[in-house]
Structure 1
Amino acid sequence: MDFTLTEAQQDLASLTRRILTDKVTPEVLGPHGSGGFDAPLWTALAQAGVVDAALPQRVGGGGFGLLEQCSVLAEIGRAVAPVPYLTSVVMAATAVAEFEARSPAENPSARSGDGRLAERWVVPVLRGEHVLAVALPDYGVPCGFTAEADGDGWRLRGAQTAVASGAFAHGFLVEAAIDGGRQVFLLDRDSVTVSPQRTVDHADAALVELSGARSSVSLGDIGEWLRLRGTIGVCAQQLGVVERALELTAAYAREREQFGHLIGSFQAVRQRLADAYVDVEAVRLTLWQAAWRLSEGLPAAEEVATAKFWAAEAGHRVAHTAVHVHGGVGIDVDHTLHRYFVAAKRLEFTLGGATAQARGLGDLLAADPA
């Protein structure tokens, strides 16, 4: 299997890195735990063509796909950039675009209220004007919302905490239990009760509550489709985070002296860095294997669980190695490294941590003993 990046992936990654290197500064990021969304940066990425490049041409995109989206996410992770590319583009906008492309025979449970979902929801995202959030339970966690038919629409009730990008989202995709199954519904912010929350690294999440909120749009039973894509996106972003954290730590070990010697010359430090390198490469390999299978329409549930297991485990180990090697400055919340530590910890548990992924992988393997 050839994991060489395509020309489109390389070009998008290079463009994204140039923009983020220029615009993601300590002043933009603000103090620890604040912010979480840089609107001017989001608009700049859109104007440069980064946001729309990986979406279908029929909605004004560049016609690429998941592999290109992962390349962008890895760069966002490297910069720890406060932009909602994962939720808005990889998950929500792509789901809406895919829904409108399907015929009723392919997706009989889906109904559109106005028949122009892309114009209303996707195009503003492509322009960098709107943000979409996805309220999706973690792997193996019961659904927090229920829905019932109401004329030509649905009424939704329930709540979910820590919805990524929810604090500033203009619209929400919500998975809800209905008639013994699950469907994903599209809701405007005006019909949702949003209570901003601060997570370990940013003030960008939200408690989303629905009390009879009405939706006229169901995207059908696509919760698992969203979860697989979202999980791969988390892995891609985690790859960028741990890769850059290791680079910063290795550079520090080459210049920091203790007892008259560079700490990088100490055997224990070198072993920790070597283990971290193996972890980063494990994330890279499992990510691209799973992303390729998904992009080709092949069964990929086992590969996605494997990739997320490594993203969680490696994220934990590399983040702690970076802090330990840096010593006292590693626990300074104002130090650059701290942004990578908290980003790695947040991504470790997003959509299910290592234990949840290992259990899920075990269930998948047990269901197919061959």
Structure 2
Amino acid sequence: MDFTFTEAQDDLSGLARPLLADRSTTHIPDGTGFDRPLWDTLIRAGLIEATLPAPIGNGFGLLEQCTVLMELGRVAASVPYLTTVAVAAATIAAFGDDAQLRRWVEPITAGQFTLAVALSTDDDRVTATRSATGWQFEGRYSAIPAAAFADAVLLEAHTSEGPLLAVLDRDTAGLRITAQQVVDGADAALLELDAVRVDSTNVLGSPGNGAAAWAQRHATVAVCAYQLGVVERALESTAEYALTRQQFGKPIGSFQAVRQRLADAHLDVEAVRLTLWQAAWRESQGLPADAEIATAKFWAAEAGHRVAHTMVHVHASIGIFLDYPVHRYFLAAKRTEFLFGSATEQLRTLATALTSARSA
């Protein structure tokens, strides 16, 4: 694999970082989970349109989107880039038609349209049966990111013919959306579908066409990219604090126990980085990547947990002050740890992938 960043990745990082430079220190989120002023800033700067799929945007792919997600993670940004651009818009472009692109992706460029993503888990799923004009959906999804405010939801449903993806507008009859409070805001929601009729124009292709698995892979890689930004900046800020915080007349970073915690955190961050880019590169090249993606998400979950706790422990009491940025990174890392699959779930996926590869 090639670890060299593309020119587009370098340019996007160079554009995003200055825009986001002051968000972690001067900006205090309002608790809704949607930083709309920041989203508007990203729209005006052209960062959203640049990474939307062609023909709406510049057609950059997963690698470039991961670069933006890393920068958003570095400031623990509360914007729906992951769900709206990296997963929903990319999936619609890959499996939808021109009319669906114009309907759901084109309005994103105006900054007035966002999408949530609801994919099946061990606990939540939706079933679909054929009707005269399309499909009828039944089921529920809980704690769906961005669903409390999103204008539409990219949703997976299971049929006798295989899984399918559909996009449901917020005002779809029979779709109930109830806002839920999660650790770092109130952007999540419970989705309940009671005999929801879905027209065929809302469905991305046919059941079993691979769209749901494609969306799940991209969502998992995108979460890993965001988590890399979170833990990378968490480690940097913790190391900076250890160099300046004095105890017993010397920086706490000179104490062996602190140095060991920071060294372990450095190894964890590098593990997240290397496994992420391996998974993202293989997926972007159309190569088999199930095992690599599961490995990347395992490290994003496990390392995210350890680095977040190291950050709080080294900062001590100020690590939990609500007017200090440390707690935001802790909450972001913890939520991302479980989003689209915990470490245990990834180990199960990895075991299945390795067993299948050995059998083949």
Normalised by the length of structure 1, the TM-score is: 0.91
- Residue 205 of structure 1 pairs with residue 204 of structure 2: no
- The aligned residue for residue 178 of structure 1 is 159
- In 2, distance between residues paired with 1:296 and 1:137? 25
- In 1, distance between residues paired with 2:214 and 2:96? 15
- The aligned residue for residue 245 of structure 2 is 256
- Residue 45 of structure 1 pairs with residue 28 of structure 2: no
Sort the Cα spacing of 1:142 and 1:182 in 2 relative to 1 into closer, same or farther, 3 A. farther
Of residues 159, 175, 181, the one that matches 2:140 is 159
CA displacement at 1:320 relative to structure 2: 0.4
Question: Percent identity, aligned pairs only?
Answer: 54
Secondary structure in 1 matching 2:196: strand
Provide Cα deviations, 1:168-211, integer angstroms capped at 9, x if missing partner: 01001111111152111111100121100111111100001111
Q: Could you tell me which runs of 5 or more consecutive residues in structure 1 were left unpaired when the two chains were aligned.
A: 102-114
Give yes or no for contact 2:124–2:142 (8 Å, CA) kept in 1.
Answer: no
CA displacement at 1:259 relative to structure 2: 1.5
Match for 1:75: what amino acid? E
- In 1, distance between residues paired with 2:353 and 2:67? 28
Provide Cα deviations, 1:200-233, integer angstroms capped at 9, x if missing partner: 1111000011111122221144111111000000
- The aligned residue for residue 95 of structure 1 is 91
Sort the Cα spacing of 1:130 and 1:336 in 2 relative to 1 into closer, same or farther, 3 A. same
Give yes or no for contact 1:66–1:291 (8 Å, CA) kept in 2.
Answer: yes
Count of residues in Structure 1 that have an aligned counterpart in Structure 2: 351
- Residue 85 of structure 1 pairs with residue 88 of structure 2: no
Give yes or no for contact 1:135–1:174 (8 Å, CA) kept in 2.
Answer: yes
- The aligned residue for residue 226 of structure 1 is 215
Q: For residues 21-36 of structure 1, what are the structure 2 equivalents within 5 Å?
A: 21-22=21-22, 26-30=26-30, 34-36=31-33
Give yes or no for contact 1:44–1:128 (8 Å, CA) kept in 2.
Answer: no
Q: For residues 1-370 of structure 1, what are the structure 2 equivalents within 5 Å?
A: 1-22=1-22, 26-30=26-30, 34-58=31-55, 60-100=56-96, 116-138=99-121, 141=122, 143-191=124-172, 192-216=175-199, 217-219=202-204, 220=206, 221=208, 222-369=211-358
- In 1, distance between residues paired with 2:123 and 2:13? 36
CA displacement at 1:2 relative to structure 2: 2.7
RMSD between aligned residues: 1.5
Give yes or no for contact 1:131–1:171 (8 Å, CA) kept in 2.
Answer: yes
- In 1, distance between residues paired with 2:25 and 2:238? 19
Secondary structure in 1 matching 2:296: helix
Give yes or no for contact 1:54–1:68 (8 Å, CA) kept in 2.
Answer: yes
Provide Cα deviations, 1:341-362, integer angstroms capped at 9, x if missing partner: 0000000000111111012101
- In 2, distance between residues paired with 1:24 and 1:167? 23
Provide Cα deviations, 1:312-367, integer angstroms capped at 9, x if missing partner: 01100000000110111112233210000000000000011111101210111112
Secondary structure in 2 matching 1:160: strand
Match for 2:80: what amino acid? P
- In 1, distance between residues paired with 2:245 and 2:23? 29
CA displacement at 1:56 relative to structure 2: 2.8
